[in-house]
Each structure stands twice: as C-alpha cells, then as structure tokens.
Structure 1
Amino acid sequence: MPYQIMTHNLPTATLGTSRLIKAHHFGTVGARPKVYLQAGLHADEWPGFLVLNELIKRLRKADDDGAIIGEIIIVPVANPIGLAQNFHGYIPGRFAFSDGGGNFNRNWPQIAEKVEQRIRHDIDGSPENNIKLIREVIMDEVMSLPETTELQGLRKTLMLMSMDADEVLDLHCSGEACMHAYLPQEFEDYFKPLLVHLKAKVGLSELETGAASFDETNVSVWRHLKKDFAHLIPWGCRSLTLELRGENDITKEMALEDANALFAYLIDRKVIDAPPVEPPASDLTYYPLDAMDLVKTPCAGIVCYHKNIGDPVEEGEVIGEVVDLMNDDVEQSAQLLIARTNGVLFARLQRRLVICGESIAKIAGKEHLPFREIGKLFEDK
C-alpha cells in the first residue's frame, strides 16, 4: 500500500464543532513488524510534534525507495481535544476539561480479562497461532468500546490503530529534563537499542504503575495472559513512553537528531530495509520506578534549584530551596529541598512558583523507597 494519510473524525461534542485525528500510514496493512508512534497525548507536551514531522519526511523518502518492509502508523498530533483547551494563551493540555476531567494519559480502557475469557480454551501449542487469535480478539473488543463522547472516541480511535502493533512508542516530555523513558521491566534489553540511539541516560522501569496509561494499556493484555500461559503466548506488543527532554527543548536540530535516531531504530527492527546506523556510545542506566524520589515542596513560594538536570545527588543533599514569600522573617524564609536517595536528578518542574506539597523534581535511584507504593507509582491520576 502506498503512503496514505487517514482522517478519523471524533464524535461531535458541541453544536457546530468537530475534531479529527490524522494518521500517516506507511507500508502494507498487516505486514510485520508493525510499529505505532504518536505524540501530544498530553497536549501541552510539544517536542514530539516536530520530531514526528521530521520522521515522516524520512519515511516518505523510504517509501518512495520501496524500503519499508513492515507497517508504520504515525499520529503526530494525538489529542486535538487537549489542544483546544486554550485558556488566555495557555494550553493546559494534561487534564481534560470535559468528560469528567482527568489525566489524558491515565485510566484507559482495560480489556485483558475480557480477552482472556474469550481465548483461554482456544490456546494451542503454536505461539504464532495464539498471537494471531489474541490480536483478532483484542481488536474485536476495542471495536465494541463505547464512543458516545469526544474523549471516548479519541481513545477508541488511538487504540484501534495501536493495539495490534508489535511496538508502541508514545512520545511525551517533562517540564525540564534529560532524555529518558518509562518502560516495563520486561523490556529493558529489548528497548535498549532505541534508547541508545536517542542518547538517553535514564530509563525508569516498572512492573505495574497502576496508572492504566496509554502505553501500559497496549501491553497489558499480553502481560495479563502471560501469567497463565507463559511461553505459549509470546509478547505480542511491546511499548514504552519516551520523554523527549523538556517542554522548551524544541529546535529543528533536536527534532532532526531524534527523528534520525527513531529511523535508525526502525532499521534495526527490520521495519525499514536500509544500511544499519552505528549507535553512539552509551551510558544508559536503568532505574526501578519504585526507587524514584519525587521531591515535594515544604511550602508555597519560589523554587531555586542548586542542582542541574543530569547532576548526581546523594541522600540528604540539598538540591534546592523554596523561598516562602509570606514569611515575616526574610532571613529564615528559605526552606530546603532534601534528596531522599542517591541517584541522578533527571527532571524538574519548569514553573518556579510552586504550591505547598507539590512534586517538583524527580531523582532516579537504585534502592526501593518505602514511601513509593507499587501499583501507585504515578500520583497525578
């Protein structure tokens, strides 16, 4: 199938309005491997928009050359609902204003148990047959999801394009951060080539965050089924969330570098037939997500950091301070931010005016932290 752009209209939310999602399709429908990429599910995280724009340019040339072996779907703008939430020049695109509110990347529909009920008596000794069966049932279950509201329609549309993919790459960013990723613990080795090409130094791996995020939803059926069927059901989908540095790390040069890294990875995975690209030297380190310290503010005020992104920190070290502007004694108005683990400061809030109790920085560590609860590793539900 030649390169196509498919338009998907979402359910109309209000009189006289409509929104759409555009998907760029490369390769042959049903060809393997199938890779799905999207950006901007959190509609206030924009580096991925430009990265996928540059990647599409490279893929169009590869398509003209007949070099695309598998199937690639790219959704460069995944959340038109969030992008429309323009409030006096600011786009608060992380949480929905309508449909009950909530984080756009949390609490996605979970269909694993329904799939298991339908396939458990048909699993045989052929992993290939089992994957084919499970994918068919997955897509059937996704087709049956409701799409009454605009948000339901958005989720169903993205799931229909991604849930039968071999790989799902969801592009995000942080406030200020180095390149990093969140991924299932089972895929550390598998996705290492991707993170090496992207020059990431930090990978956060987990077994269960409890967030039901988009990337977790794509892999959740397979993780659920493998508990009972083990080797009879190989991983039919692998997924991760890529954090493309910080919100303002948007330049043509960065976007082209990241797009080239993604293209090189697609060559490695034999989705594209082209000479392999030599990966850069890497100092990638994986850290367990339950060992990540979320640094919280002791008071409201202005935050001043003493540590920069990528700096190593030690437990008990001061990484910054919050100046309480309402304190009568200006000599005592600064309250310290103390690291609770040894590790690396890899992300922090871009905004400097903070509220009391807010999580404003992340430190990747190696040792489990007792206040980090498995299954509740993301706080912004």
Structure 2
Amino acid sequence: MSYQIYSHVLPSASPGTQRVLKAHHFGEAGARPKVYLQAGLHADEWPGFLVLNKLIARLKKAEQAGLIKGEVIIVPVANPIGLAQNFHGYIPGRFAFSDGGGNFNRNWPRLGEKVEKRIKGDVAAETEANVSIVRQAIREELALLPEMTELQGMKKTLLALSMDADEVIDLHCSGEACMHAYVPQEFEDYFKPLLGLLNSTVGLSELETGAASFDETNVSVWRSLKAHYAHLIPWGCRSLTLELRGENDISHEFADQDAQALYDYLIYRDIVQGVVAEPDVSAVNYYPLDAMDLVKAPCAGIVCYHKAIGESVEAGEVIGEVVNLLDDDVEASHYPLVSRANGVFFARVQRRLVMCGESIAKIAGKEHLAHREIGHLFED
C-alpha cells in the first residue's frame, strides 16, 4: 500500500458542524513493527503539530524510495474539538467545554479486565500467537465503545488507530520546559535511545499514575495481562508521552531537529530502511514520578523565578518567589518558592500571574516524596 490519508468523521456535536481526524498511513497495512504518533491531544500544546508536519514530509520521501519496512500511522492534529474552543482569541484546549468537561488526556477507557475475559482459555504456549489473540480481543472491545458524542467518537477513533501498534508516541509540551518524557517504568531502557536522539536528559518514570491518560491506556491492557500471564504474553505495545519543551518553543529549527530525531528513531527500530549511529544515551536520566515535586504558589500574585529551566536544585533551595500584590507591607510581600526535592528544575507554567495553591513548577527528584501519593500523581 502506498501513502494514504484517511479522514475519520466524528459524530456531529450540533446542527451544521462536523469535525474530522486525518490519519497519514505509511507502509503496508499490518506490517511490523507498527508505530503510531499523534500531536495536540491537549489542543493548546502546539509544537508537535509542526514536528509531525515535517516528519510526514520525510516519510513521504521514504515511501517513494521504497524505504518503509514497517507501518507508521500519524495523526498530526489529534483533537479538533479542543482546537475549536476559541474564546476571544485564547484556545483553552486542555479541558473539554462539553461532554461533561474534563481533561482531554485523562480517564480514557481501560480495557484490561474485559480483554482478559475474552482471551481466557485461549492463551497458549506460543507467545506471538498470544499477541495476536490479545490484539483481536482489543479490536472487539474497541468496537463496543460508545460513540454517541463527538468526544466519545474522537477517543474511539484514536484508540482504534493506535492500540494494535508496537509503539505509541504521544506528543505534548509544557508551559515552559526542557525536553522531557513520561515513560512507563517497564520501558526505561527501551526508550532511552529515543530520548538520546531528542537530546532529552529528563525522563519521568511512571508505574500507575491514576490518570488513565492516552499513552497509559494503550499499554494498560498488556500491563494488566502480564500481571496474570507473565512471560506468556509479551509486551504488545510500548508507549510514552513526549513533552516537546514549552508552548512557545516553536520554530523551523526546533521542528526540523525533532522530526529528524523521530525519523532516525524509526530507522533505529528497523521501521524505515537506513543507517543511523547508535544513539548516545549517556545524558539520559530517569526520575521516579513519585519523586517529582510540584511546587505550589503560597499566595496569589506575580511569580518571579531565581532558577532557570534545566538547572539543578537542592531540597530547601528557593527557586523563586510570588509577590502578593495586595499586601499592605510591600517590603514583606515576597513569598518564597521552596523545592522539596534534590533534582532538576525542568518545567513551569508560562503565566506569571498565579493563583494561590496552584502547582506552578516541577522538579524531578530521585527520592520518594511523602506528599506524593501513588495512583494520584497528576493533579490536572
């Protein structure tokens, strides 16, 4: 099969409206390995749009040259619903305005128990046969998911495109940040080459966040089954969330650099024919997600940072301050932001006007923090 673009029409949310997901397909359908990439699930996070635009251009040339060995599916704009939420020129694309609201990257369907019931009695000694059995069960369960609303249709479509992939790469970004990734604990070594190619030095290692995010949903079926069947069912999908720096880190230079890194990774995984040097992973460090400090604003006001993104910090160190604009004593109106972790200051909100109690900065540490609760590691 040559390069194809498929348009997936979502259920109409209101009379006269219709949104579409476009999926770019490269290679033969069903070829392995299969990789799925998407951008903009949080519709206010835009660097991935340009990166995938440039990756598609590279893959089109590779397809024409007959270099695609596996299958690649790219959805460059994963959330047209969120992109349409234009409020006086501002696109608040992290949370849905309709369908009950909520974070677009939370509470995705978890199919592990249902798939396990379907395959019970069919698991054999042949591991690759078991992978096929599980993938068929996943397809059958996906077909039963509701699609009455626009959001349900979007989720069902994205999962149908991704859940039988060997790898799922979900592109996001932070407010202001260095390149980093959220990586399931089981895949730390596996994804090190990708982080190395992207010059990312920070990986957040996660096991069970409680968020039921898109990338977790794609891997959760296999994690659930392996807990019962161990080696009989190998990993049929590996996934991660890539955070492409900050919201405003968008340029042809960054996008070309990141698209080339992703293309080189596809060569490394033998999905695209070519030669690439062994990635340098010496600078890649993983930090447990439960050791990540979310620094909260002690009051409402203007935040000023003393430390730069990417700098090392120590527990007890002041990384900035919030100025309370309504304090009567202006000389005593500066409230410190104190790190509770030894690690790297890797992300912060872009706004400088912050609300009391809001999480405004992230520090990746190595040691578990008592206030970080396993299973509830994301607050938004």
Displacement after TM superposition at 1:136 (Å): 0.5
Give the secondary-structure state (helix, strand or coil) at the position aligned to 2:21: strand
Q: Per-residue CA shift, 1:142-167, capped at 9, x if unaligned?
A: 01100000000000000000000000
Tell me the equivalent position of 1:119. 119
* Separation (CA, whole Å) in 2 of partners of 1:123 and 1:278: 37
* Separation (CA, whole Å) in 1 of partners of 2:356 and 2:275: 53
Report if the CA contact (8 A) 1:199-1:282 is conserved.
no
Aligned residues, how many?
380
Displacement after TM superposition at 1:278 (Å): 4.9
TM-score (norm 2): 0.99
Tell me the equivalent position of 1:207. 207
Tell me the equivalent position of 1:140. 140
* Separation (CA, whole Å) in 2 of partners of 1:21 and 1:376: 31
Tell me the equivalent position of 1:19. 19
Q: How does 1:100-249 map to 2 (within 5 A)?
A: 100-249=100-249
Report if the CA contact (8 A) 1:54-1:255 is conserved.
yes
Q: Per-residue CA shift, 1:37-63, capped at 9, x if unaligned?
A: 000000000000000000000000000
Report if the CA contact (8 A) 1:313-1:344 is conserved.
yes
Equivalent residue letter for 2:346: F
Displacement after TM superposition at 1:292 (Å): 0.2
* Separation (CA, whole Å) in 2 of partners of 1:69 and 1:222: 25
CA-based RMSD of the aligned residues comes to 0.7
Equivalent residue letter for 1:295: V
Give the secondary-structure state (helix, strand or coil) at the position aligned to 1:362: strand
Matched, 1:326 2:334: no
Matched, 1:295 2:295: yes
Give the secondary-structure state (helix, strand or coil) at the position aligned to 2:299: coil
Tell me the equivalent position of 2:343. 343
Displacement after TM superposition at 1:93 (Å): 0.1
The alignment-based identity, stated in percent, is 73
Report if the CA contact (8 A) 1:115-1:137 is conserved.
yes
Matched, 1:378 2:378: yes
TM-score (norm 1): 0.99
Matched, 1:86 2:86: yes
Report if the CA contact (8 A) 1:164-1:237 is conserved.
yes
Report if the CA contact (8 A) 2:193-2:280 is conserved.
no
Give the secondary-structure state (helix, strand or coil) at the position aligned to 2:266: helix
The structure 1 segments of at least 4 consecutive aligned residues displaced by more than 2 Å after TM superposition are: 277-282
* Separation (CA, whole Å) in 2 of partners of 1:78 and 1:240: 16
Matched, 1:35 2:35: yes
Where does the alignment leave 5 or more consecutive residues of structure 1 unmatched? none
* Separation (CA, whole Å) in 1 of partners of 2:201 and 2:191: 13
Matched, 1:259 2:278: no
Tell me the equivalent position of 1:3. 3
Report if the CA contact (8 A) 2:175-2:246 is conserved.
yes
Equivalent residue letter for 2:362: K
Give the secondary-structure state (helix, strand or coil) at the position aligned to 2:30: coil
Displacement after TM superposition at 1:178 (Å): 0.3
Equivalent residue letter for 1:187: F
Q: Per-residue CA shift, 1:122-175, capped at 9, x if unaligned?
A: 101000100000000101100110000000000000000000000000000000
Displacement after TM superposition at 1:111 (Å): 0.9
Equivalent residue letter for 1:168: V
* Separation (CA, whole Å) in 2 of partners of 1:163 and 1:286: 26
Q: Per-residue CA shift, 1:233-282, capped at 9, x if unaligned?
A: 00000000000000000000100000000000000100001112453574
Where does the alignment leave 5 or more consecutive residues of structure 2 unmatched? none
Report if the CA contact (8 A) 2:195-2:281 is conserved.
no
Give the secondary-structure state (helix, strand or coil) at the position aligned to 1:228: helix
Report if the CA contact (8 A) 1:142-1:156 is conserved.
yes
Residues 1:281 and 1:107: Cα distance change in structure 2 (over 3 Å): closer
* Separation (CA, whole Å) in 1 of partners of 2:30 and 2:295: 45
* Separation (CA, whole Å) in 2 of partners of 1:323 and 1:335: 6
Q: Per-residue CA shift, 1:89-120, capped at 9, x if unaligned?
A: 00000000000000000000111100001102
Residues 1:210 and 1:281: Cα distance change in structure 2 (over 3 Å): closer
Tell me the equivalent position of 1:314. 314
* Separation (CA, whole Å) in 2 of partners of 1:120 and 1:215: 25
